[in-house]
Structure 1
Amino acid sequence: MRTTEEAEGFDGEASNTSMISGASSPYQPTTEPVRARGVLGGIRCDMEYLKSHLGILKAVEVVLALISFICIETIMVCAPCGGVYFFEFVSCSAFVVTGVLLLIFSLNLHTKVPHVNWNLTDLINTTASTVFFFLASLVLACINHITGAEIAAVIFGFLVTCVYALNTFLAVRKWRLGDGSHGSLPTSEYIRARTASRGEMEARPELA
């Protein structure tokens, strides 16, 4: 039978051996949280953007473009039909593109792709929508202005043109100010993380 001293000696040697092996092991446990990776990581609804002037204008544009498209789709007979088809294309395209941009900005998806100049993208969309909606509404008012659906489409077309024009003015001012804080945020965080990790590697003593 082992004596108490021998048992304590073996236990002490085992504990010392485990401490030495743990200290010399390059795989040390870490308590740093692992961030979610991927494009879909950290998606949240940005209520501040939806309550801002740009968010409200973009939501109004989506609604008015949809109403304009519904009005033009209710026209069953047209003569000529060129103005109707052009207005239909413009209203549908504006509804889809503006709706996608509203979804991207409201869910902060634009921060996942910082290499794209989203301010310039929004400016191009609002400018093009303003010009094409104005032309489509003007052509429809000059050629097709007989039925109630055509008149309603013209009214909503000029109304959404005014909203897009106001959005274009705000987008130009934001683009000139160079508000790229959302786009540069992930890059700056990545640089700080890389710098911190390099500092930890330099501070760690070399293994014998």
Structure 2
Amino acid sequence: MRNTEEAEGFEGEASNTSMISGASSPYQPTTEPVHSRNVLGQIRCDMEYLKSVFGMLKAIEVVLSLIGFICIETIMLCLPCGGVYFFEFVSCSGFVVTGVLLIIFCLNLHTKVPHVNWNLTDLVNTAASTFFFFLASVVLASLNHKTGAEIAAVIFGFLVTCVYGLNTFLAVRRWRLGDGGQGAVQTSEYQRARTASRGEMEARPDLA
């Protein structure tokens, strides 16, 4: 009989200990689980940007840079090859960097990072690309061997230089007219998102 009472006592103590440890456990959830947000669902292609002047200029720059890179890659023999290698590097870099910026603006990814001055970033890229494409085209034109691939690369190099130059002019004018407009809009959206998130956290009741 005593053994039965002792067993029941042990079971009660174990149950009470489990309840106390469970209540005081630091791993016990005290808030409701946060539902994962569908970030991919918020990404959409902005066709209005592609139809804008800056969007069309970037698309033309990407295409011309790619064509110039393909032309320079078809050259099998060169001596000296410094102009060919330099033009190859500039055309590949212009294609990659401008292509990435085009994707960022088309998918509105720049609104997710409001602390970056995207207008100034675009201006620096277009200005640097204008300078390096012009320099690479001049060097290639002075060192080429009159082959069809080199002549085509030089032509496309000067064409993309003109497009980059026009883009730089428009980017400088946009930056002078009001660079803070886009930054203010992005910062406002960021603050609105933080306020909404804070309101959701405050509305959730704490579990006792």
Identity across matched positions, percent: 71
96-105 vs 184-193, which deviates more? 184-193
- Tell me if the contact between 1:111 and 1:185 (Cα under 8 Å) persists in the aligned partners: no
**CA positional deviation for 1:172:** 1.2
Query: How far apart are the structure 1 equivalents of 2:38 and 2:188?
Result: 15
Task: Report matched runs for 1:175-186 at 5 Å.
Answer: 175-176=175-176, 177-178=178-179, 179-186=182-189
CA distance in 1, matches of 2:36, 2:188: 15
The equivalent residue for 2:3 is: none
The answer to whether the 8 Å contact 2:45/2:106 transfers is yes
Deviations 1:5-64 (A, max 9, x none): xxxxxxxxxxxxxxxxxxxxxxxxxxxxx89365x4500000110000000000000000
| Shift of residue 186, structure 1, vs aligned partner | 2.5
Structure 1 segment 190-201 matched on structure 2, within 5 A: 190=193, 192-193=195-196
Return 5+ residue gaps in structure 2 as ranges.
1-34
Aligned partners of 1:49 and 1:105 also within 8 Å: yes
Instruction: Tell me if 1:104 matches 2:107.
Output: no
1:192: Cα distance to partner?
4.7
Higher mean C-alpha displacement, 144-153 vs 157-166: 144-153
Question: In structure 2, what is the Cα distance between the partners aligned to 1:182 and 1:75?
Answer: 48
| Residue of structure 2 in register with 1:134 after alignment | 134
Say whether 1:189 aligns with 2:192: yes
After superposition, residues 42-191 of structure 1 pair within 5 angstroms as 42-176=42-176, 177-178=178-179, 179-190=182-193
- Assess if the C-alpha contact under 8 Å between 1:130 and 1:165 holds in 2: yes
Q: Hey, what's the Cα distance between the residues in 1 that align with 2:183 and 2:172?
A: 14
| TM-score between both structures, scaled by the size of structure 1 | 0.73
Q: Does 1:36 align with 2:37?
A: yes
- Aligned partners of 2:132, 2:84: CA distance in 1, in Å? 13
Separation in 2, partners of 1:146, 1:118: 41
Is contact 2:66-2:92 (8 Å) kept?
A: yes
In angstroms, what is the RMSD of aligned CA positions?
2.6
Aligned residue in 1 for 2:19: none
Unaligned runs of 5+ in 1: 1-33, 202-208
* SS of residue paired to 1:104: helix
How far the C-alpha of 1:194 sits from its partner, in A, is 6.4
Determine if contact 2:123/2:168 at 8 Å carries over to the other structure. yes
CA distance in 1, matches of 2:185, 2:93: 27
Amino acid at match of 1:189: R
